[in-house]
Amino acid sequence: MRIRYSWVLFVAAVVMVASCRKQQRPEFVMAERDTTITVENAFSELFLDSAAVAHFVADTTLHDSLAIRIRSFYNSRNYQFAWFFPEGMAAYVHTFLNMQQQFIHYSGDSTLFDPDLDQRIETLGSRRQISPEDTAVIEAELLLTRQFFRYAYYAYSGDRDVNLQDLGWFIPRRKLDMVSFLDSLLANKGGKVEWYEPVNRQYNLLKKHLLEFSELETAPEWEEELMAGKRPYKTGESAAVAPVVRKRLALLGYPVPEEPDTLTVITAGLANAVKSFQKHYGLTEDGVLGAAVFRELNVPPAARMKQLLINMERMRWMQENPETDYLLVNIPEFRLHVYEQGKLAFDMDVVVGSVAHSTVIFSGVLDQVVFSPYWNVPASILKNEILPAIARNPNYLARHRMEWNGNSVRQLPGPGNSLGQVKFLFPNSYNIYLHDTPSKSLFGESKRAFSHGCIRLSEPKKLAEFLLRKDSTWTPEKIAGAMQAGKEKYVRLKNEDQVPVIIGYFTAWVDKEGALNFRNDVYGHDQQMMRRYFAGSDLNGPSRL
């Protein structure tokens, strides 16, 4: 099940909009209400009262063309919500807001910024139960739609005439086709179906593996669950489960050469196959048959098919791999990949946000390197951690080399600073950046979700050297000196040297060696998508596809 291709990963998800032009166009025709959309077939089970949209359009200061398009948009979806689901706010709300933030940063035009909307989103973002009757939710839904249309105009129209003639926004509909996509993919055995045509090589690679897993869906080797022993099985030991393990590994592309299928001894050949399996599933590579190996081997092909489909859908949101320098952090993999002119230069381990402080999935442009940085303590950490610690121990700030800076607290550069000796900034609305850390021990863990949301690097000096390699004044020796200087120094990259940063979330991909990889759904994003795409099916049982 290996296919030789390099790992192609992509820039953050974007909403496709058409640009408005100044030439004369036919008059916009408002869509009629599509009453074929019901709770049973809608993308969101939440529906607006049409009167709420009418009141919003009447009571809000809107250009006539914008008002018409808002009404037309909701007519075409029979007034189902676009930004909220019963279980909470859609994940792509933050994708859109980050796109807007990036536009504001690059254009220098802050006209779009709406602090009231940001406050509403922050307030509603933590809710896990949404009512279509809630006035706050209705207002946020309509304001988000209006704000998206405004953003599209500012970012893509090319003029200041409010003309949304060519704007086509249809975020949810494509996801509704997921069941049809799966049916077509399996029925045609990889045949061409226009609406699921691949948009990048990763999509094609995952599709091929999906078809291979479809052939394993009823394989008898997964009829019984493999039970771990009281202790892990090591090389040379006997284990009754060894024959089934050997068969499953072979079916997954990890054959043990020249060994009988019925052999119960854990041979060196079997241990090597286990090591390879562990590498591609994010486990400690020790060749030992322990609980973690059994857990991954017990995942049935039907569940892997769903995981592949979820990641294929993510690939459909993405643009192709840029042929430029860029950085990719894959959160479930806990790795940073550094690309030079579209080719992998090197990668390194990272620590990402914990489940409680999950790292946001977005993109930006790295434009500054900060040596010997201060750590400006975020307001949430100040409130929840620092102030209680000060109350317990008045010398807390001094002991941790911290000081008051106005109404906030910062940690001085130098030994013990939480950001280590260097940080890397890319403007975003989440206050997330890459940085060094004095706590190196966590990089020895196979699962590295421990931070408050920012991303800790195992080899920050190597990244600094890469980013500054085109500036002859920044030698490795000078970079090392700046990191150890104990005095904060900002270095802004030249415009042509600024590097795109992608904070991605892929739990399945094909790596540079052509091997399929799986990782755990560390933040539960796969599960959220599966509940929507595969509602009513047993995610760990037989496929209903």
Q: What is the DSSP letter of 11?
A: P
Q: Which of 55, 435, 452, 525 is catalytic?
A: 435
Cα distance between residue 137 and residue 145, in whole Å: 12
Q: Is 341 left (phi over 0), alpha (psi -120 to 50) or beta?
A: left
Q: What is the DSSP letter of 420?
A: T
Catalytic residue check, 435:
yes
Cα distance between residue 294 and residue 298, in whole Å: 6
Cα distance between residue 174 and residue 315, in whole Å: 13
Rg (CA), the chain: 26
Three-state DSSP state, 353: strand
Neighbours of 441 (CB within 10 A): 7
For tokens 């030079």, what's the residue?
A: 340
Strands 499-504 and 326-330: parallel
Burial class (CB in 10 A: 0-12, 13-18, 19+), 398: exposed
Cα distance between residue 454 and residue 435, in whole Å: 8
Collect all residues with Cβ–Cβ distance below 8 Å to 184 and sequence separation of at least 6. 193, 196
Q: What is the DSSP letter of 340?
A: E
CB 305 within 8 A of CB 541: no
Cα distance between residue 348 and residue 4, in whole Å: 22
Cα distance between residue 445 and residue 450, in whole Å: 10
Please count the CA atoms within 13 angstroms of the CA of 22 that sit on its side-chain side: 4
Read off φ and ψ for residue 113, nearest 5 degrees.
Answer: -60, 130
Handedness of CA 532, 536, 541, 544 (dihedral sign): negative
* Nearest of 59, 85, 57, 61 to residue 72 by alpha carbon: 57
Collect all residues with Cβ–Cβ distance below 8 Å to 231 and sequence separation of at least 6. none
Read off φ and ψ for residue 345, nearest 5 degrees.
Answer: -95, -50
Cα distance between residue 74 and residue 141, in whole Å: 11
DSSP output for 15-56: ---PPP-SS--PPP-PPPP-TT--TTT-SSS-B--HHHHHHH
Structure tokens at 280: 């591609």
Cα distance between residue 66 and residue 89, in whole Å: 24
Annotated active-site positions, please? 435, 454
